[in-house]
Structure 1
């Protein structure tokens, strides 16, 4: 009797954000023979689609990163299967609250929110991808090793893969050692293209309140863009923005009803001016500003300050290729190669998945 042993192609997705998640979902569907592994340096999935939970009540949450999803008519059609999937499963619902100061967008643009927090979009696609996920894995080195790629992390974990996909913000690529750095530095056009990618920076402040706290914004809005303040740019009563009415939630055993949550985003100039400071150093400034803006609000139960060193892409890789193949089996992608929103991440993921499939086919 003959026994055939097939070695599965091992694909490492580095980054727990939307591009990695969608890439994995596509590959699971179209290249099911791959073994998909995902490593991320954070403690939870989501990347810049981050949802934070209050320490005193895990059911009190706030989106510290992306606030809502806007699909233009073009992308609503181009990515219809993705949107239909998310709406069908209740991950996305239409944005129905009042949002003051939103800039005018193309007619027919559809806006969505996530009742369970924006990280639920990423988790939805990760579930479809069925990856072997490891968190707290901050990679430091990528080294060519006999036709494969050896990847090492900050805590000493090391493994070898056939394909490695990197979706972290582009400037972080320059902090990696090994063969990857030699590849980047040896190609002047590639080096200049990567160094031309730029991001805005900002801080987010999440306020978590106790059950029964009453909060309000002008004109009974759920969220508001602020145009005349040097520090704050956006504020939202997050649970209302997400369409969650707290009185309708069933209390969980031994937890009690969650209270409301509020999110503030700073202006880009403020983020740039305080880029070298820690969240703890900036937290006090932002707390004081909130008290000045809303003196009637009570003190929150918990406060979290988040620094987004790489917030939104302001200058993308020339030509918007979706991804770049550095070498056989080594691919870089993400919104730095398209544009900063959900559709940009999906476009990059589609391109990355195609390159991975080509590589897998060549290894058969």
Structure 2
């Protein structure tokens, strides 16, 4: 049985784990590490600082299926719709620029439920949170992986799905195996950066606007606002509504190195300029997304990059495709294809 480590419990990593289990069943032992305290990555659903039962999506907001992907990824959409993880969006998204045939979906339980669904389908996979990978060392036919706490474990194959700059920061032997062209392609990857706020309101709070989400055109600070529970068609009985705010990319870049506690008041001041009738929240949570969406992908969007064939060391994620749900699906399928090929060779020798 091959022991496979997947680094990153976001959408690509969770789907890789799910597909590996479905395709190879008991031929692999799947281990998933993530440095965060919860799963989801940029598709995580957050709780308020006071520990209440509210939730809000601070990262990805909804899923848009183009006609092409709606057909080629039909099995994934069908599975998620049947499970109730996805449902067609029903609220007004003000300022949304649609193309003919696009279909928008929301997650009633939050975007993090997408990741949790695929992890639950990877039956028997071992998930370890707060495991921050710092180094990779080749040890004969295996990889020795070190985490921030100083622990070391050995795996027959490693899949890296975290943002590319974090891959390039890994110590050990990884950079020794990168070709000059691979290093050049990884260096070309660029991400947008932004801040996101979640405002959690008391049960009697009422919003004066009718939309579920709105793209803001007249602000240099805020580009998007969503009434999160309204957008998700969720009814948090007795909990009160929540509001999500995303800043513009230029604002995110300008303030990237500042503490989020210093940036939060600037965003709130702009929010109340845009929505002067907004009630006062009970609590506020601020998130800094240093790596938000991929602006420049690896050339030709191959879906994955194999650094070493044996023992397998493969990179995947939206940087190798494009930065949305279907891009993560494309990457996971590409990683699966490459990993199956090398593991079958590995297991036959």
Question: What range is the shorter-chain TM-score in?
Answer: over 0.9
Aligned to 1:69: 63
Aligned to 2:340: 357
Aligned to 2:120: 127
RMSD over aligned CA atoms reads 1.1
Out of 335, 354, 360, the residue aligned to residue 318 of structure 2 is 335
Q: Is the 8 A contact 1:43 1:136 kept in 2?
A: yes
Tell me whether 1:309 sits opposite 2:290 in the alignment.
yes
Out of 257, 277, 285, the residue aligned to residue 296 of structure 1 is 277
Aligned to 1:234: 224
Pairs within 5 Å for 1:111-260 = 111-130=104-123, 131-184=125-178, 187-217=179-209, 220-246=210-236, 249=237, 257-260=238-241
For 1:245, what is the secondary structure of its paired residue?
Answer: coil
Distance 2:200 2:89 in 1: 22
Q: Is the 8 A contact 1:57 1:258 kept in 2?
A: no
Pairs within 5 Å for 1:267-286 = 267-286=248-267
Aligned to 1:323: 304
Q: Is the 8 A contact 2:49 2:285 kept in 1?
A: no
Moved over 6 A (4+): none
For 2:234, what is the secondary structure of its paired residue?
Answer: coil
For 2:61, what is the secondary structure of its paired residue?
Answer: coil
What is the TM-score when the length of structure 1 is the normalising length? 0.92
Distance 2:35 2:260 in 1: 18
Residue 293 (structure 1) shift: 2.0
Q: Is the 8 A contact 2:49 2:284 kept in 1?
A: no
Runs of 5+ unmatched residues, structure 1: 1-7, 250-256
Q: Is the 8 A contact 1:202 1:311 kept in 2?
A: yes
For 1:60, what is the secondary structure of its paired residue?
Answer: coil
Out of 20, 24, 40, the residue aligned to residue 17 of structure 2 is 24
For 1:30, what is the secondary structure of its paired residue?
Answer: helix
Q: 1:55 to 1:305 in 2, by over 3 A?
A: closer
Distance 1:339 1:216 in 2: 36
Q: How many residues align?
A: 343
When structure 1 is superposed on structure 2, of 40-49 and 297-306 the one drifting more is 297-306
Runs of 5+ unmatched residues, structure 2: none
For 2:38, what is the secondary structure of its paired residue?
Answer: coil
When structure 1 is superposed on structure 2, of 275-284 and 235-244 the one drifting more is 275-284
Distance 1:216 1:261 in 2: 13
For 2:53, what is the secondary structure of its paired residue?
Answer: strand
Distance 1:113 1:64 in 2: 14
